Amino acid sequence: MAAVEAEAAVRELRDTYAAGKTKSFEWRISQLKAIQQILTLHSEEIIGALRSDLKKPEFEAVIHEISVVSASCKLALKELHRWMKPQKVKTTLITFPSSAKIVSEPFGVVLVISAWNFPFALSVDPVIGAIAAGNAVVLKPSENAPATSSLLAKLVGKYMDASAVKVVEGAVPQTTALLDQKWDKILYTGGSAVGRIVLTAAAKHLTPVILELGGKCPAVVDSKINLKVAARRIIAGKWGCNNGQACISPDYLITTKDFVSEVVNILSAELEKFFGEEPLQSKELSSIVNSHHFNRLVKLLDDDEVSGKIVCGGERDKSNLKIAPTIILGASKDSLVMKEEIFGPILPIITVDKIEECFGVINAMEKPLAAYLFTNDKKLEEKFVRSVSAGGMIINDTILHFLEAGIPFGGIGESGMGAYHGKFSFDAFSHKKPLLKRSFAIDISARYPPYTPGKRRFLRAVVQGTLFDILRSLATCW
């Protein structure tokens, strides 16, 4: 049944795309305006769905989901005309006389598969890019955020052009059936195991893929900084961001042995200020998404390697799927918590003798999606930028790069491939078609056989581009 539905959806979208409907500026604008209307008229329902799926606090729902999508939509509406304009490029003597442009062409029919942790933003934000670029699109939201998934299906069905934009709900069978179809581009957000499945399926049709994956994001805390501000920013990026269930949340901290007790004390004090003495009762903390992930996180906490090393938090409430903000000090690199992406409210702290040793710790692991450094030391900062390869990087804060539309968002290596956000979303869903135009006016015979020594000299001079050589060889060419 899933296969038949997937096939039918793609067929309808292919017909719409082939008719040229999605390519017009007017259609793109109308669909972006439809998204704006969804945001304006249904924000309460969106907040409600996020509360139902994740107990996501309203503030986080507005800032991390609704505002992100709203800003992307506004930007696309404002800039679309400019983005769609072919971009002029200077040509060289090799093609003289000529003009060149880069034409942004939609890929065609694209698939967006999204994850549960930011189930609204991670679904709609890529769709904005796909539509702005003129594609027909199927969105497959995550089954692990069922309220948001069904709300998306309802609202997209009601407000958007159903012949070109569809939501297909479901779990593994539905995603598998979709992946069996031929797509012109796929953007997948989620874990790397499924990322490999997506890439394998795409390979069958040589479909280009953007993979937005995760990994272990380090945050390095140097001494001689404003530790209170640093601690608050770490908390905002970790527990204030879906209770750590965010791909760019700091996964672990690195600091020096001399400084670590100050770091733990200030983090613990600020945590108490934000979430109270009984954080399990706090309305400002998202719950864990489901019992599978709750049990996975509890296993990390109960690992013999870490259970005696909890210096803050550790409480859990199975019936409400809540885990308190938890700090672990001195977890070994062989503990489960240091071996896999945590994706939850647990923060291990690794200590080193000298802060420069952070490079060895970070670079011994896969390239992270984000890397953070808190320092006032310019040299350390420069070395961090130079030595750490990561999807994105922030000095003296966490997660905020996600909100900046002017910079691309994506991973590298195990944390993903490709990027989107702002204009990069438009580019991610556009083929950049080079268009070279020549005139019939000048047709230099040196290009054609027989390739006499004079012609060869001329072509070499053109390639090397020195005017003197060109003129000299021209003299011997004919």
The answer to whether residue 241 is catalytic is no
User: Residues binding ligand NAD: what is the number (CB under 6 A)?
Assistant: 28
Shortest Cβ 45–ligand NAD spacing (Å): 21
Return the residues of window 399-458 that contact ligand NAD according to CB under 6 A: 411, 416
Return the residues of window 20-79 that contact ligand NAD according to CB under 6 A: none
Looking at residue 203, its amino acid is A
Find the binder of ligand NAD among 110, 137, 306, 369 (CB under 6 A): 369
241 binds ligand NAD (CB under 6 A): no
How far apart are alpha carbons 64 and 66 in whole angstroms?
Answer: 6
117 binds ligand NAD (CB under 6 A): yes
122 binds ligand NAD (CB under 6 A): yes
How far apart are alpha carbons 17 and 106 in whole angstroms?
Answer: 10
Shortest Cβ 366–ligand NAD spacing (Å): 12
Q: Which stretch binds ligand NAD (CB under 6 A): 76-84, 92-100, 187-195, 455-463?
A: 187-195
What single string gives the DSSP state of each residue in 367-396?
A: PPSEEEEE-S-HHHHHHHHHH---SEEEES
Considering beta carbons, is residue 55 or 421 the nearer one to ligand NAD?
A: 421
C-alpha distances (whole Å) from 21 to each of 131, 157, 161 are 11, 18, 10
Shortest Cβ 36–ligand NAD spacing (Å): 23
The 201-220 site mask, x for binding ligand NAD (CB under 6 A), equals -----------xxx------
C-alpha distances (whole Å) from 345 to each of 137, 238, 392 are 34, 7, 21
The answer to whether residue 247 is catalytic is yes
**Tokens 């994850």 found at:** 115
Residue in the shown chain whose Cβ atom is closest to ligand NAD: 214
Cα angle 155-157-159, degrees, rounded to a multiple of 5: 65
What single string gives the DSSP state of each residue in 282-305?
A: -TTSPPPSSHHHHHHHHHHHH-TT
How far apart are alpha carbons 17 and 13 in whole angstroms?
Answer: 6
Extract the runs of DSSP E, i.e. beta strands, from 310-369.
Answer: 310-312, 316-317, 322-323, 326-329, 346-352
Kindly state the tokens that stand for 155.
């609202």
Return the residues of window 137-176 that contact ligand NAD according to CB under 6 A: 140, 142-144, 171-172, 175-176
Residue among 60, 65, 212, 341 flagged as catalytic: 212
Known catalytic residues? 212, 247
Residue ranges binding ligand NAD (CB under 6 A) = 113-117, 122, 140, 142-144, 171-172, 175-176, 189-191, 194, 197, 212-214, 247, 341, 343, 369, 411, 416
